[in-house]
Amino acid sequence: MAAGQLGGDAAVPREVVIYAHHQPDEAHGIVSLEGGHVPYATIDQLVEWCTQAGSRVSVRPVLDLSEEITVDRYTPTQRQREQAILLTPTCVFPHCNKDARGCDLDHITAYSQGGKTTSWNLAPLCRFHHRVKTFSTWTYHRTSRTGFVWTSPKGRVHPVDLTDFTTEHRRRTR
């Protein structure tokens, strides 16, 4: 199958992210981009095929979105960042819809105040709302994997639940 038949203009670069359940040196039967059946292909072969089509390819292990990933340092890992983005694809401040991929990853309870670098304590905030949270008396806490409750400086409560948005976002990006 020609690259143009894959659902887009072959001249337009695209990003392909592949979540794999296997190790890079394991072989698995797949279908090549050219449409010919290849009985066994490694991740490296898959990457080569996709890059020939003008795509940028990332191969990552499958993430368990309910896993609690914890590290003993301030900076979150790439796995923690990706997990947070997949769970909450936008800034978690009330009514903000900035894409989480361009957001800071915030410690909900500040690291300097004993907050750990764990999945439960990390959420994407756009730079503006990250500064609002850091330099004002806005606070928030997590109520579920995709739910948060924000409290304004005047004590008003603003619940945020991205469950429906997250489900719709995953459906659109498949």
Higher pLDDT, 35 or 21: 21
Are 91 and 120 found together in one domain?
yes
Write down the pTM of the prediction.
Answer: 0.67
Question: Using 50, 70 and 90 to split pLDDT, how confident is the model at 143?
Answer: very high
Tokens matching residue 39: 């009985």
Q: How many CA atoms lie within 13 A of 95 on its CB side?
A: 1
CA distance 63 to 45: 22
Are 41 and 127 found together in one domain?
no
Average pLDDT, the chain: 79
| Side chain identity, residue 136 | S
Tokens matching residue 161: 């639940």
- Please, which residues have CB within 8 angstroms of residue 95's CB and are 6 or more apart in sequence? none
Tell me the residue range of the domain where 48 lies. Answer: 3-61
Are 33 and 92 found together in one domain?
no
Check whether 116 has a pLDDT greater than 90. yes
CA distance 3 to 162: 35
Q: Which of 38, 61, 84 is the last residue of a domain?
A: 61
Check whether 96 has a pLDDT greater than 70. yes
Are 94 and 36 found together in one domain?
no
Check whether 170 has a pLDDT greater than 60. no
Give the total number of structural domains in the chain. 2
> Which pLDDT does position 59 carry in this prediction?
65
> Which pLDDT does position 146 carry in this prediction?
95
- Please, which residues have CB within 8 angstroms of residue 39's CB and are 6 or more apart in sequence? 29
